[in-house]
Structure 1
Amino acid sequence: MTKALILIDIQTGFDAPFWGARNNPDAETKAARLLAHFRAQSLPIFHVKHLSTEAGSPLAGAGAQIKPIVAPLPDEPVIAKSVNSAFIGTDLDARLRAKGVTDVIICGLTTPHCVSTTTRMAANLGYHVTLAHDACASFAINANTSWSQAPAMTPAQIHDTAVSHLHGEFATAESVDDILGTPIAP
Structure 2
Amino acid sequence: MDKENNALIIIDVQKAFDDKKWGDRNNLSAEENISKILTLWRKKGWQVIHIQHMSENPEEVIITKKVNSSFIGTNLEEFLKLNHITTTVITGLTTPHCVSTTIRMSGNLGFNTYLISDATAAFGLKDQNDNYFDADTIHNTSLANNSFATIGTL
State the TM-score, normalized to the length of structure 1: 0.78
Query: Which has the larger share of strand?
Result: 2
Is 1:108 aligned with 2:86? no
- Give how far 1:75 is off: 2.1
Distance 1:10 1:40, change over 3 A: same
Is 1:144 aligned with 2:126? yes
Is 1:45 aligned with 2:48? yes
Is 1:160 aligned with 2:140? yes
1:29 to 17, 32, 46: 32
Distance 1:85 1:27, change over 3 A: same
1:170 to 139, 148, 154: 148
Distance 1:27 1:80, change over 3 A: same
The corresponding residue for 1:80 is 64
CA RMSD of aligned residues (A): 1.3
Q: Distance in 2 between matches of 1:3 and 1:72?
A: 21
- Give how far 1:106 is off: 0.1
Distance 1:36 1:171, change over 3 A: same
Counterpart residue type for residue 148 of structure 1? N
- Give how far 1:74 is off: 1.9
Question: Match of 1:81, SS?
Answer: coil
Question: Match of 2:58, SS?
Answer: coil
Q: Distance in 1 between matches of 2:153 and 2:119?
A: 8
Which structure has the larger Rg? 1
The corresponding residue for 2:23 is 20
The corresponding residue for 1:8 is 11
Q: Distance in 2 between matches of 1:33 and 1:96?
A: 23
State the TM-score, normalized to the length of structure 2: 0.93
Runs of 5+ consecutive residues of structure 1 not aligned to the other structure: 50-64, 177-186
Q: Distance in 1 between matches of 2:139 and 2:27?
A: 9
Distance 1:155 1:40, change over 3 A: same
Distance 1:171 1:43, change over 3 A: same
* Identical positions, percent: 40
Moved over 6 A (4+): none
Counterpart residue type for residue 68 of structure 2? N
Q: Distance in 2 between matches of 1:164 and 1:31?
A: 21
Q: Distance in 2 between matches of 1:41 and 1:8?
A: 20
Counterpart residue type for residue 131 of structure 1? L
Question: Match of 1:107, SS?
Answer: strand
Question: Match of 2:64, SS?
Answer: strand
The alignment covers a number of residue pairs equal to 151
